[in-house]
Structure 1
Amino acid sequence: MANYHTTARPRTNAARICTILGFVFAAIAVFISPLLFGLAGLVLGIVGAVLGDKPLGWYAAAASVVGAVVGALLFAALIN
Structure 2
Amino acid sequence: MTQVSRSRTGVSGARVCTIVGFVFAALAILFFPPLFALVAVVLGAVGGYLGDRPLGWYAAAAGVAGGVLGLILAAVVLNAA
Give TM class, smaller chain: 0.7 to 0.9
SS of residue matched to 2:27: helix
Letter in 2 for 1:14: G
Aligned ranges for residues 1-80 of structure 1 at < 5 Å? 13-80=12-79
Partner Cα separation in structure 1 for residue 39 and residue 11 of structure 2: 20
Partner Cα separation in structure 1 for residue 68 and residue 28 of structure 2: 9
Aligned residue number for residue 4 of structure 1: none
| TM-score using structure 2 length | 0.84
| TM-score using structure 1 length | 0.85
Partner Cα separation in structure 2 for residue 72 and residue 19 of structure 1: 23
- Please list the CA deviations of residues 17-49 of structure 1 after superposition, one character each: whole Å capped at 9, or x if unmatched: 000001000000000010000000000000000
**RMSD after superposition:** 1.3
Aligned residue number for residue 3 of structure 2: none
The structure that has the greater radius of gyration is 2
Report the Cα offset of residue 12 of structure 1: 6.4
- Deviating 4+ runs (over 2 angstroms): none
Partner Cα separation in structure 2 for residue 46 and residue 36 of structure 1: 16
Calculate percent identity across the aligned residue pairs.
57
Unmatched segments (≥5 aa) in structure 1: 1-10
